[in-house]
Amino acid sequence: MSKTPFSLRVASCYLVSSLTFAAEENPLTRFINNAEYELDSSTTGYFKKVDSKTADNDDAAFLARLTAKSKTQLSDSISAGMELYANYSSQKQEYHGVFRNPDQHVRQPRVVDFNSVWLRYGADDFELMAGKDYLQNGLSEIYSPVDRFGMFNLTNPSQLYRTGVWQAGVNYFINDDTLTFKVLPVPEKIQIPSMYSRWLGNTNDPEFAVLAANYQIDEKFRPVRVENMGYLLQYKGSRAGYDFFGLLHHGPSMYPTLIYGNHINQRIKTEPLATSISAGVMKVLDEWKFYGEAIYQVADSNTDEDFIRYSAGISYSDSQLANILGFNQINSTLQWSGDETVSPVNMQQVAVTSREARPFRNTLLAKIEIEQNNEWGYYFSTAYNVEGNSGLLGGAQYKPTDNLSLRLESAFFNGSQDTAFGRWDNDDFVRLRTIYKF
């Protein structure tokens, strides 16, 4: 037999193996191969119409959100990642355009945009990061008053999404603890319902539950400058049975105020620069969790009232009673969310403080999650505000596989129109939601 065909076969095998190995080692190839996708689609039916001439009053609304995320190692020390989403909504003007610029002055989310895109450099005892990524703080199980430095898409408050923020920072690792310093260069604002949304409420601005008058409200956007940047210093640690943190921040507040405009009915909405200090602790004791946290904000130059927001809660995970009732596990959480004004504002300078824009002020929160088996689960949550308004959500979840989740849920709101939940009294709904990961 001729040696030539055999040699060609050996050379061909070597070449294919080399190309395959090279492809496997290529960061771009790994990035593509590591990609994960999620399709989150829902159909929501509303029981009532809202009293508005501009609101989209369709009886049903459809929302679909496709998310793609991936990360890869560019070298032994450098990694990169991103998360991209594409949205479709049947509601008028809920999403518009593509890709927000870092300094773009809009409150409307894009049809296509990045939630995150980042680079990280990791060493033995520290990590450097730059780009756009999620920023989450706090220890509370239901709602954290400290979790206010990241961004949210609240165009539909009943179906909110987290979004990333532009940041650069360093994590320094001290045994099991982490010391973090971040610079947030872009003064960003959360994304809120449009003027066509049924979730707009009874004011001209959805961030305020109530306003004394029908003001003409104009937005003030801070330019990207050193004095407008956010600076965050945090220490997080854990000990046997304990998690804790301490935090210091200076930059634009999450909660807006209204200052006087050029004419009698004009108000300018702005997020005042402020210093915030926060601390929190969680204790885990067998099936129990006990937690508490607080954040104290002092606005620069008396541009808002000084206030303290806090939460305290207890959570219990039960399997014994659950097994008697035919379930695998029942998780119950009860939490109080408080808000107290420490020092008033100069009302000659500020027309409306951030008080009515701060969510869950003096509100009792409760949540029950029931796992029947690996496929079926049920969940119930409620929020009752001391001003006499409330919200109630309940649903069932079916997971035939780890990649597919089907949910049927419904929510009801109650209270007068000038309260946090009562403004959505006509937004009671039932929703069928499908989440598929692939």
CATH number at 251 reads 2.40.160.100
Six-digit token string for 385: 């505000």
- The answer to whether residue 21 is domain-embedded is no
What's the confidence (pLDDT) of residue 7?
Answer: 43
Which pLDDT tens digits describe the chain residue by residue (438 residues)?
A: 444 444 445 445 444 444 444 445 688 888 888 999 999 999 999 999 988 888 888 899 999 999 999 999 999 999 999 999 999 999 888 898 889 887 777 788 899 999 999 999 999 999 999 999 999 999 999 999 999 999 999 999 999 999 999 999 999 999 989 999 999 999 988 888 888 888 987 776 788 887 866 788 888 888 889 999 999 999 999 999 999 999 999 999 999 999 998 888 888 999 999 999 999 999 999 999 999 999 999 999 999 999 999 999 999 999 999 999 999 999 999 999 999 999 999 888 899 999 989 999 999 999 999 999 999 999 999 999 998 999 999 999 999 999 999 999 999 999 988 888 998 999 999 999 999 999
What's the confidence (pLDDT) of residue 367?
Answer: 97
- The answer to whether residue 11 is domain-embedded is no
What's the confidence (pLDDT) of residue 213?
Answer: 66
- The answer to whether residue 187 is domain-embedded is yes
pTM of the model: 0.86
- The answer to whether residue 10 is domain-embedded is no
What's the confidence (pLDDT) of residue 24?
Answer: 53
What's the confidence (pLDDT) of residue 16?
Answer: 45
- The answer to whether residue 177 is domain-embedded is yes
Cα of first residue to Cα of last residue in the chain, in angstroms, is 50
- The answer to whether residue 18 is domain-embedded is no
Contact 202, 214 (CB under 8 A): no
Domain that holds residue 245: 36-437
C-alpha 127/C-alpha 327 separation (Å) is 43
- The answer to whether residue 132 is domain-embedded is yes
- Give the Å distances, CA to CA, from 23 to 14, 28, 79, 257: 14, 9, 18, 54
Helix H, strand E, coil C: the string for the chain is CCHHHHHHHHHHHHHHHHHHHHHHHCHHHHHHHCCEEEEEEEEEEECCCCCCCCCCCCCEEEEEEEEEEEEEECCCCEEEEEEEEEEEECCCCCCCCECCCCCCCCCCCCCEEEEEEEEEEECCCEEEEEEEECCCCCCCCCCCCCCCCCEEECCCHHHCEEECEEEEEEEEEECCEEEEEEEECCCCCCECCCCCCCCCCCCCCCCCCCCCCCCEEEECCCCCCHHHCEEEEEEEEEECCEEEEEEEEEEECCCCEEEECCCCCEEEEECCEEEEEEEEEEEEECCEEEEEEEEEEEEHHHCCCEEEEEEEEEEEEECHHHHHCCCCEEEEEEEEEEEEEEECCCCCCEEECCHHHCCCCCEEEEEEEEECCCCEEEEEEEEEECCCEEEEEEEEEEEEECCEEEEEEEEEEECCCCCCCHHHCCCCEEEEEEEEEC
C-alpha 248/C-alpha 255 separation (Å) is 17
C-alpha 409/C-alpha 44 separation (Å) is 9
Six-digit token string for 331: 């998780």
Contact 193, 200 (CB under 8 A): yes
- The answer to whether residue 284 is domain-embedded is yes
- Residue 170 has a CB neighbour count (10 Å cut-off) of 14
Q: Count of domains in the chain?
A: 1
Residue 249 dihedral angles phi and psi, to the nearest 5°: -140, 145
- Residue 272 has a CB neighbour count (10 Å cut-off) of 21
